A = this chain, B = another copy of it.
């Protein structure tokens, strides 16, 4: 950078006065109300208060468990205390899987313990565990290509080469060992499978995550090793001697239990105007306290709505949804769609990609709202957010609604470090950067302000009414 700067300074000094760069015409002004709300949101404390409270006073919130139920109670109290209207829980039933013991060892040729965690919906070993030869594959495609005889009666290990990406796209590409591996291994007659965690950090904290066995496939134990353990296994396998693993993994399905979505509103001046939906998910994996996945998301969405509510009455109703049971299969998103999918929405959005800064805005608001979409891009630019697509919106729990064609906005967070923490014991409050969290709140507040249809300031309060 130093050399580059020096070169730039020398070039600047040497440049003739004639060679002025072309300057784009100035953008149309963003309404002062939006700018004020954006600036004020950079001092936000509401979001920190929510994520700190939820992760401290509830902690881990596995879908369908009593911990998630406590989280709903906590949420109702919190949203009411913030002054939102129509705060309620909409329950639904779901199948629940819970973790048991999980331990692993290499027993030969170099006996030593490993760290392992069960993937969601994993089958179980007997309580005393299983021991078998370990057979390794560098990719899921190698496993697919392997003859059944190479796998039958063994424990399968699958690696991969996931790297960091700002947009998280490597999760899709390299998530196959977790999502597909267990069914493929089971079909070939494997006793169990362990995969290299779908993650990017080198800590002894494995990454769990949901998978489901294909129709008719026998359930086998399916676990994830942290990267240090996965690479240790690879080094051991490369020695070329037969490798044996012992695995104890005793998760179980506990049947149908209740989960639910928590809903709250900022009532709009026009109840018939298509509304804005902002969301995150309340449940978390059980290993951490769900600070970045997705305590930060519910906090950001609610804090932005709160800031609009404090400023005045928006034309459109803003609905906050804290979805239940996202991690284990989008049960909350699907329940919401069944109950509210036919309502009129001006835009729907979800924050569920950590707590790092928003770097890009995508939207799909329709041709008729293109001016508003462009205004949104301009209004977000001072936060360091670049304009993205005008024909795209994403979000986990809202994906069923987006698939129905509903309009949406995505405030894309930087995911470079997300998969260091995602679904691990390390997803704890200390990982949330308060400054980045405020930038998120500012982005969401700006988005709501631009799309609100206008915010009518509250009448000035008289002193001592």
Contacts and interface: CB of A to CB of B under 8 A. Distances in A.
B205 A205 contact: yes
A149 interface: no
Contacts of A289: 112, 232
A113 B236 contact: no
Contacts of A56: 110, 232, 235-236, 239
Nearest to A114: B59
A5 B3 CA distance: 10
Given A2-B2, A204-B205, A204-B288, A426 B228 contact: yes
Contacts of A429: 228, 231-232, 235
Interface in A29-60: 52, 55-60
A9 interface: yes
Interface in A263-298: 288-289
Interface in A416-449: 424-426, 428-431
Contacts of A236: 56-57
Contact of A426 (B60, B204, B232): B204
A428 B205 contact: no
Nearest to A74: B110
Interface in A230-270: 231-232, 235-236, 239
Contacts of A59: 106, 110-113, 232
A202 B110 contact: no
Contact of A430 (B2, B106, B111, B231): B231
A6 interface: yes
A227 interface: yes
A156 to B, nearest CB: 21
A428 B58 contact: no
A128 to B, nearest CB: 16
B235 A52 contact: yes
Contacts of A57: 110, 236, 239
A1 interface: yes
Contacts of A80: none
A374 interface: no
A369 to B, nearest CB: 43
A115 interface: yes
Contacts of A106: 59
B235 A112 contact: no
Contact of A203 (B1, B6, B205): B205
Interface string A118-145: 0000000000000000000000000000
A267 to B, nearest CB: 32
A3 to B, nearest CB: 9
A120 to B, nearest CB: 17
B203 A426 contact: yes
Interface in A169-202: 202
Contact of A232 (B227, B232, B239, B428): B428
Interface string A82-105: 000000000000000000000000
Nearest to A229: B428
Contacts of A239: 56-57
Contacts of A204: 205, 288, 424-426, 428
Contacts of A6: 5-6, 9
16 contacts: A2-B5, A5-B6, A52-B235, A55-B232, A57-B239, A58-B112, A59-B110, A202-B426, A202-B428, A203-B203, A203-B205, A227-B430, A228-B429, A228-B430, A231-B429, A232-B428
Given A5-B6, A59-B106, 19 more contacts: A1-B2, A6-B9, A56-B110, A56-B236, A59-B111, A59-B112, A59-B113, A59-B232, A60-B112, A60-B113, A67-B111, A203-B203, A203-B205, A203-B426, A204-B205, A204-B288, A204-B424, A204-B425, A205-B205
Listed from nearest, the 9 A-B pairs whose CB atoms lie closest are A59-B112, A204-B425, A228-B428, A56-B235, A202-B430, A203-B203, A57-B110, A228-B430, A2-B5
